[in-house]
Structure 1
Amino acid sequence: MADVCSDEQKAKFKAAHTTATAYLDSALKAARTMPTGGAKSRPDKFAALAQQTFGNAVDTEAVKTHLQAMSAEIGALTSLRVNTEGTTRQNPVVCNPSKETYDCTKNFAGGEWTGLKRLFLCPSFFGLNTVQSALVVIHESVHIAGISQKDDVYFHSRLAHELPLISASTAASNPDTLTSFVYRLATGNKFQKTVLPEPIQDRFVGDFSDAQQAFLRQSLAWAEAKLDVTLTALNEIQTNDGGGQAGRLLRSSDLSAKLGIDFESISGLTEAGQAALTSAIERLEAAYIALSSRVQFRRPPASPPPAEGALSTAGIPVAWRGSAFMIDPDYIQGSSAFNFASVLADAVLRGEHRWDEEISPMAQLLELMMGTDTKGRDLLPRR
């Protein structure tokens, strides 16, 4: 029954709630015993793990404040709240929500950070083990506490494991990164496959140095981030019929004409512009799905004659073949991972990227949209 918790579901949530509370209590205990006044007589476990998790520039006091807010919200999940009008009382934990209340299609749970600050538990939540479900509760407490209303990176994404790429302030408010920190601080464990999905392990075939492999992994992380930000921006444009910050930015750029995303002189998008926007979203979604999965990197062939009906890779520094990049490692010298990410995205969108060509208008769109929201700005490389 929608919005109603069965006795079995109540018991599972109670176990998850107890474990989540224990993890946060342990993390806060470590925070309270941090050396103060420059004391260095013993290692500072909290600060050391915070720097490892969020980056060297992390504000440990801000992290402590976040954990205290998360703990308070998790504690409140056992009580009833009064709505803004004060006329009804409702349990903030909602099981099996109706689609009109919360869409469970792709989620274990959801946190509402306005009004009642409810926690929605989807049917899939109750199929998790106790540790997994406790981590979901901790994750949602970040949303409910208002620390972050969205998810910048997830455990299994490449960006989550390339933390020097994102700002310490972004990492320190990202729900999955905070959850990872609490879990590791409380248990001393890294995430195991039985807890949450393992990070993507890309494959390198041929002679790629360690530095080249690290560079390409970072470039893929940036490509995922750019595609994610751009898709968010384009969906905003579509929802607002060309309006909003992203719409104004695209309208003032020559990319709207290059991509056929036409605007009316006064109102929103033309009919043709709407169709072109929908097509762009579909192409970028396909590229995002491709790059969010495991990929291979291979060196291009020495330049044998191509098989009949196949594209030659001779002279092409980056080509995309199914789930594999054919790439000339010499081409990445002197580039930054942030910039090279657009080259990889361009190769996926077009099938290849040539020496003598600029990135396509579609790939240029990724660069344009990175500045449309807080996530995009915070993900820009630290100087």
Structure 2
Amino acid sequence: MATGAQRGTPSVLELPGASEELRTRLADGLAAVNALIEERVDHDDPFIAEAGAHLTAAGGKRFRPLLTLLASELGSGASTQVVAAAAGVELTHLASLYHDDVMDEADVRRGAPSANALYGNSTAILVGDLLFGTASDIVADLGPEAVKIQAQTFVRLCSGQIRDDRPTPPGVDPVEHHLGVLADKTGVLIATAARYGAMFGGCDAATVEVMREYGERLGMAFQLADDLIDIGSEADETGKTPGTDLREGKRTLPVLHVLASTDPADARLQALLTGDLSSDERLSEALTLLRAHPAMERAREHTEAVARQAQDVLASLPESDARSALHALATGVVHRVG
């Protein structure tokens, strides 16, 4: 896999595997998705309309709807149903961000004040619920199978968030537990994005299953890379504060590897990671030690292995521009810097 890092989540519009014709179709499809999202988020009550559109207006990479559109290219391409499915997935993702910010007590999201900071926790939660409802309303027009998938996705997404907010159960391997949480809280929605694209692009059942599996592995690689970025990147590279996960006590893959170490030389770092990192000085020391620790390379190798697994799933598909772009997307996801 390529080693050159790039800023931001890669857009399929920028990947070397996408032809100019494919890029144009994807751009047109994304414009239709954005228009549908704006239409459905709008509300007669100006305050509800403003709060509901807050994260939409703040931008975002539209990674999930782009994946839906790209997966549809394995079949007949974007249609009204594909666009609706992509919008439903993105609204589900946006709704989860409103809830995430309340749980994390976040002040900023996408460089703008978070919804909970602007409107309070209760309103942020209710707006998130409203967006979940809007997503479900859109998906309901796609038929009972799509509704079932949406419901199952929502259950896994929520269960992953609940488990992520709690310690590893006794007798359970922390790394395996962590990977299971990532599959639920991040992998499943990206899997559904890819699955919907193949479904409503008219692909056969085997291709739909390939895209579901590809999407779940891609989602896990995406989140594992995010966890590395939180530790390894500087604020001016990402626009985010490094060590946010550490400060919140989240035990990501590199942290779990350090905590499992029996090397006495790791005692100081282990003490920092299990202690209070609210002070900038202690957080800075923890970041410095963790960045230099072999656990980072071990976690990076695991992340790249998961991305390669996603790429391997594509081998059963016939060669096409879309398959090449999907292959490149997995590489780009793990080598971004923000």
If the length of structure 2 is used for normalisation, what is the TM-score?
0.32
Higher relative contact order (CA 8 A, sep 6+): 2
- Name whichever structure is richer in helix by fraction: 2
Q: Look at both structures and tell me which one has the larger radius of gyration over its CA atoms.
A: 1
If the length of structure 1 is used for normalisation, what is the TM-score?
0.29
- Name whichever structure is richer in strand by fraction: 1
